[in-house]
């Protein structure tokens, strides 16, 4: 089913990135080098880590919303499975940011994830814009 996996993975991803937020709080308030971490607020690993945290939660919420809409309109949408997979592919963006920060990998996952999520959102918007009204709408 085209939306159930988005909702489930969306909530799991949100939980993981919420836990990651606790790590960021630790680094800011309790780590031995917290002063250095705070002073690097807008540069380097600190900035990139915050980007991953924010985008991870944003893309998790988008997957939950997209999944819900795909389920609610499943009988009227033709491309729901493709949109579903594109939205899930969007999660590569925050994971790509983390892979850059912690493993020094190139930003290819960031680009793939960003393009995937953007495509899914625009595609779903076009699909909804073109839906014919029913008595329930």
Q: Say how far apart CA 64 and CA 91 lie, in whole Å.
A: 12
Is the pLDDT confidence value at 62 over 90?
Answer: yes
Residues 77-112: tens digit of each pLDDT? 889 999 999 999 999 999 999 999 999 999 999 999
pTM of the model: 0.91
Of 87, 91, 86, nearest to 109 (Cα)?
Answer: 91
Q: Say how far apart CA 9 and CA 70 lie, in whole Å.
A: 14
Cβ–Cβ < 8 Å for 116, 90: yes
Q: How far from 39 is each of 47, 51, 92, CA to CA, in Å?
A: 11, 17, 28
Provide the token pair at 124. Answer: 């779903």
Q: What is the pLDDT of residue 41?
A: 80
């Amino acid at each position: 089913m085209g939306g159930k996996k988005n909702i489930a993975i969306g909530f799991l991803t949100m939980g993981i990135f919420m836990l990651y937020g606790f790590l960021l709080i630790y680094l800011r308030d309790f780590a031995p080098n917290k002063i250095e971490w705070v002073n690097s607020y807008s540069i380097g690993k600190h900035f990139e880590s915050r980007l991953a945290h924010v985008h991870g939660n944003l893309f998790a919420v988008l997957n939950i919303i997209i999944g819900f809409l795909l389920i609610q309109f499943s009988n009227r949408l033709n491309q729901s499975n493709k949109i579903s997979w594109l939205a899930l592919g969007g999660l590569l963006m925050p994971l790509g940011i983390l892979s850059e920060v912690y493993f020094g990998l190139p930003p290819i996952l960031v680009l793939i994830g960003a393009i995937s999520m953007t495509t899914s959102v625009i595609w779903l918007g076009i699909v909804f814009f073109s839906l014919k009204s029913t008595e329930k709408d």
